[in-house]
Amino acid sequence: MTPVLQTLSLSKTYNEGPVDVHALRNINLEILPGEFTVIVGPSGSGKTTLLNMLGGLDTPSEGKVFVAGTDISNMSENELIDFRLHHIGFVFQAYNLIPVLTAEENVSFILDLQGRPAGEIKARAAEVLAEVGLADRAKNRPSELSGGQQQRVAVARALAARPQYVLADEPTANLDSATAFSLLDTMKRLNEDEKMTFLFSTHDPRVIDRASRVITLVDGEISSDERR
C-alpha cells in the first residue's frame, strides 16, 4: 500500500542565539491510507513541529516530506499554499472559524477557494455538516454555536474537500468530556466509514484510546511506534 504521507531523515533545527535547538532528529515515518494515528510525548518533544512539517506549514532543516509520492520539502510558499488547499485538512484547537460567516459558509470557504461550482459547493457543505451532526445549524454563525459545535464545523471544513489526510493539533483541548467524546466518535466513524486518514498531536487520553496507531516522540526522536 502506498503511504499517504512519508518522511525520510526529517530533521528540524532552530537557531536561538548561540544555541541550536534540535526539535526533530532523523524522523523516518510512513502513514498509510485510513490510519487513525496519534503523536504523543512530553511538552517540547517535537509533536507540533512534526505536525507543522507534515502539513507544509514549516520547512525541514534536513530530510524530505512526501504526500502521496509528491515531495513538498522544497516547494515555494505559494506552491505550498496551493498544495495545502487541495490536499491537506487542518483542525486546530482554536477552531479558526471566520466569525462573520455561517457554519455553511465556513465549510464552503475552502471549496470556493478551489474554484468548485456553486451547486457542488452547496451540496458538499450540506453533506459534511450532516456528517458531523450540524445540519440544523448551517445558518448559525460561530458566536451562536457552542465550543463543541464550532469544533464540529472545523472538522466539517477540514473534510469538505476530501483531503488526502487531516491533521488535528490538540482538537479536544478546549472541550468538556461529553463534547470531546462525541467529536471523537464522529471522527472515528468518518475514519472507518470513509477511510479518511487522521493524524493527531495530543496529550488527551480520550484521543489516544481511540487511536489505531500511537507514535511517541521524546527529544525530537521516535521512541516507539505501536499499531493496535
The secondary structure of the chain, three-state, reads CCCCEEEEEEEEEEEECCEEEEEEEEEEEEECCCCEEEEECCCCCCHHHHHHHHCCCCCCCEEEEEECCEECCCCCHHHHHHHHHHHEEEEECCCCCCCCCCHHHHHHHHHHHCCCCHHHHHHHHHHHHHHCCCHHHCCCCHHHCCHHHHHHHHHHHHHHCCCCEEEEECCCCCCCHHHHHHHHHHHHHHHHHHCCCEEEECCCHHHHHHCCEEEEEECCEEEEEEEC
According to the CATH classification, is domain 5-227 in 3.30.365.10?
no
High-pLDDT (> 90) share of the chain, %: 74
Residue where the block lists cell 535547538: 21
pLDDT at position 171 is 87
Largest CA distance in the chain: 56
Q: Give residue 195's pLDDT band: very low, low, confident or very high (50, 70, 90).
A: confident
- Span 33-52, mean pLDDT? 94
Q: Supply the pTM of this predicted model.
A: 0.90
Q: CA distances (Å), 66 to each of 46, 73, 78, 174, 179, in order?
A: 19, 8, 17, 31, 34
pLDDT of 93 above 90: no
Higher pLDDT, 15 or 4: 4
Higher pLDDT, 29 or 174: 29
For helices 147-160 and 103-113, angle between their N-to-C axes, nearest 10 degrees? 20
pLDDT at position 143 is 96
Q: Give residue 222's pLDDT band: very low, low, confident or very high (50, 70, 90).
A: very high
Question: How far apart, in whole angstroms, are the C-alpha atoms of residue 115 and residue 168?
Answer: 25
pLDDT of 25 above 90: yes
pLDDT of 28 above 90: yes
- Span 53-60, mean pLDDT? 93
pLDDT of 221 above 90: yes
pLDDT at position 116 is 95
pLDDT at position 81 is 93
Mean pLDDT score across all residues of the chain: 93
Residue where the block lists cell 464522529: 186
pLDDT of 2 above 90: no
- Span 180-191, mean pLDDT? 88
Q: Which residues contact 194 (CB under 8 A, 6 or more apart)?
A: none
